[in-house]
C-alpha cells in the first residue's frame, strides 16, 4: 500500500501503528520503573526500621507515581498529535 499525503506530510499506516506500539511500551516502562523505584526505597526503609510496611507502602507509592508520570507523558503526546492536525 503506497503512503498517502495528509496535512503536508506522508501518512504511512505502518509507521503510525509502530509509533502507537512504541508509546505503549514506553508507558509500560514508566509504570514499571516507578514501581521498582518505590519498592527499592521501601526496601531501604525496611532495612533501617526492621519492618515490612515500607516495601508495601513503597510499592503502592511507586505504582501511583508511575501511573502519574505515564498519564503526564500520554497527555504530552496527545497535545503533540493534536498540534500536527491543526492547520
**What residue ranges do the domains of the chain occupy?**
30-82
Residue carrying C-alpha cell 511500551: 25
Quick one: average pLDDT of 49-77?
93
What predicted TM-score, i.e. pTM, was given to this entire model? 0.75
> Considering only CA atoms, which of 35, 38, 34 is closest in space to residue 46?
38
pLDDT over threshold 60, residue 7: no
* SS3 call for 4: strand
pLDDT tier at 61, thresholds 50, 70, 90: very high
pLDDT tier at 46, thresholds 50, 70, 90: very high
Q: Which of 2-11, 42-51, 77-86 has the highest mean pLDDT?
A: 42-51
Partnered with residue 10 across adjacent β-strands are 5
Could you read off the pLDDT of 14-23 as tens digits, one per residue?
888 888 899 9
pLDDT tier at 43, thresholds 50, 70, 90: very high
Question: How far is Cα 80 from Cα 87, in angstroms, rounded to an integer?
Answer: 13
Amino acid at each position: 500500500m503506497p503512503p498517502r499525503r495528509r496535512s503536508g506530510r506522508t501518512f504511512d499506516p505502518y509507521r503510525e501503528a509502530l509509533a502507537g506500539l512504541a508509546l505503549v511500551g514506553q508507558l509500560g516502562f514508566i509504570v514499571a520503573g516507578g514501581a521498582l523505584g518505590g519498592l527499592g526505597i521501601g526496601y531501604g526503609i525496611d532495612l533501617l526500621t526492621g519492618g515490612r510496611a515500607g516495601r508495601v507502602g513503597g510499592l503502592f507509592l511507586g505504582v501511583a507515581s508511575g501511573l502519574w508520570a505515564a498519564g503526564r507523558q500520554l497527555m504530552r503526546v496527545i497535545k503533540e498529535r493534536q498540534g500536527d492536525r491543526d492547520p
